[in-house]
Structure 1
Amino acid sequence: MTKKIVITGIGATSPLGGTARDSWNALLAGESGARTLEHDWVAEYDLPVHFAAPAKVRPEEVLERPVAKRLDPSSQFALISAMEAWADAGAPDIAPERLGVDYATGIGGIWTLLDAWDTLRERGPRRVLPMTVPMLMPNAASAAISMHFEARAFARTVASACASSTESLANAYEHLQLGLADVVIAGGSESAIHPITLASFSSMQALSKRNDDPAHASRPYSVDRDGFVMGEGAASLVIETEEHALARGARIYAELAGGAVSADSYHITANDPEGRGASRAVLDALAQAGATPDEVTHINAHATSTPVGDIAEYTALHSVFGDRVHEIPVSATKASTGHLLGGTGALEAVFTVLALESRLAPPTINLTTQDPAIPLLVSGEPQPLGDGPQVAISNSFGFGGHNAVAVFRSV
């Protein structure tokens, strides 16, 4: 028998705010988290891109120092968002063996890894910190969350590039359906605003180079889009069976109705231009949710603001929804937050859940002249979703041809 899976807690620390609600309010207000970087290393390495979208609230402002010093920034953000989500869910009283963690990252502890390499080269092996490997490993975030909340059912990690944290939601859905846990903390985190990643993404012409205007650099669907803006942060969701949530009197934000993944098997960085893998993920996720394309009332698109990627996603959506896709309110929230890589799907899931709760599709800022090849229903202002039942999808696609889609239903 299929169980109903619901979301009872949300948390986020993002370029727009230090909490989920602060991030959502800034998103609705049309704010941008992108700004010029003030680090000395921007000039030292003569980087071609001088801006990004750093988290608005630094983790050291939230975590106690003994905790923070043993975690890479990516794990710090993860723990902060999970703590908020757990408190928002009412801190469920649950046996540790029935609490699981499904978490994600695209890159992991890159700051720890490269700082340790610098230490080794400059000061020798004896000065490399003994906690280096536990801090840099990709599963460090899920481990930190598991230990903090004594989650002993499992602590699993997904690393599927920019599809990672949406895949963690699909996994959480399946693990709850299988009865492996009653409650799961799911989400994703990334902290990769580093000289090596900025240089690498710049070399592949993936980043916007609007150094003179960071706040307007990410412009999905605009004819003059020129790449994405690197972001950082984390988002977490407390997900549980409806039976468990109702038994403890929990507030329910929305139903996590289904999720699916697929692979393009096309190119290591480029999307399949026909969108075949992406469209299959959408259809499979809707099928798992027991929903049809005609029921979808909102789409949170991957929409990174790259010239090729935005069109490939439109092609995939059109193959699923037909011309009706032009009537569905679409939000491209990376225009405001930048691209959180492995953490982006979880943040956009939080935004999708809040869109259903408030019956408002968040705005897509910086859309000057919409590309006629992408005639989606996009607005620079929040779009009302109506009063009836709502079904929304959130798309995430990543290097390696990874596609992940989550489906949410209003309650």
Structure 2
Amino acid sequence: MSDSRDPDEADPIDVDTFQEWLHYTAESRDLEERELLDRLVSAYWVLDEMSDVVPDTPASGPGPAAELDSDGSSEWRSLPNRRRTDESTERTSESRPRDERAAGVSSDAADAERHPAEESAARSGAPAGDDEPETAGESSDPGGSGRSGGDGDDTDASDIPTDDPVATEIQELRNSIQTQLDLVQTVTELRRQVSDLSLDVEQQRSRQDGFTDRITDDLTRLNRRVEQLDAQVGDDAEDLTERLDAIEQVLGDLESTQDEFEAWIDGEFDEIEALFQRLIERTDDLDDRLVDAERTADTTEEIATARRTLGALRREAIDLGVDEGTCDHCGSSVDLSMLTDPICPGCDRPFADITPGRWWSPLSTATLHTESGTQNTGPTDGATHPRDIVDRN
């Protein structure tokens, strides 16, 4: 595939712009992008074959075609200028969207189809064919001087009579050559555009291949990572399962041990509670026995004290020579020999001492003095508590 672009031509169209044009054209024609690219490549090859069929230079030979070398030399000389103008127009049009350029290609093809119609009209003697040489001559020689050979003796194509058969034939050949030149120019433009499209397609395919390779590498890497994670998860799952089984076994042992410990604690608490209960009962029994012992001791001490007091009172009465007396508190007569306790039977006051009667009065009796402010009420049930005895004493 040959590239018809000049070295100083601008850079190709951006790939993104071509992609947008390709997408838009495929949607407008209800085609897939790959199918549209295939059609573009096929059209390029067809145009390449057509360019091989169409001659690139005008034919030269005897007869009327040889006369074209002298009459149409200015038109051939103007062809490079025309190509330069077309190339500048192409550079300007490259900034347009791709769909507008495709529309321009269609218009060039329509012009190419229109030139054969003008050629047929020229052959039939239409006015359009008569005006073409003047137009071609004016465009080929902007300065107004028509040069043919270089010696100054050549005549302009407008000087040839229109009714001359040779001139008519020359005009027809000129129109035919102009049509072929336009067709060649159109084919060249199409080849250049198809070449650009081919380059863009190759670049796009290269980018797609790069993206595909990159995505494939990413997928492969992700798949490998997933497999590694699956393997790790599998190993970790087995390890965790074993550890969970061991933990469950340890928990079972701990639960059984805890149950045994709780049962032992319950038994020990029951024994301790029973022991405390026995201790409390034994303490209460000891308290009762201690109270009884204290009462017995107090009663014994009280009886002993009362006996000592009564003995002292009787010894004092014997010393005084009396055996009875009168209570100084209530005036009751008390027989000392009948007393069991040193207490007045009338007022229940304990006796402290005895005073003999007046010696000069035979009716006078001894006086039994009681303790001041003290009265022995005595127990109601016959039992006297030691504290009561101590309080009275």
Higher-Rg structure is 2
Q: Which TM class, normalised by the smaller chain length?
A: under 0.3
The structure with the largest strand share of the pair is: 1
TM-score (norm 1): 0.18
TM (norm. structure 2) is 0.18
Q: Which structure has the highest helix share of the two?
A: 2
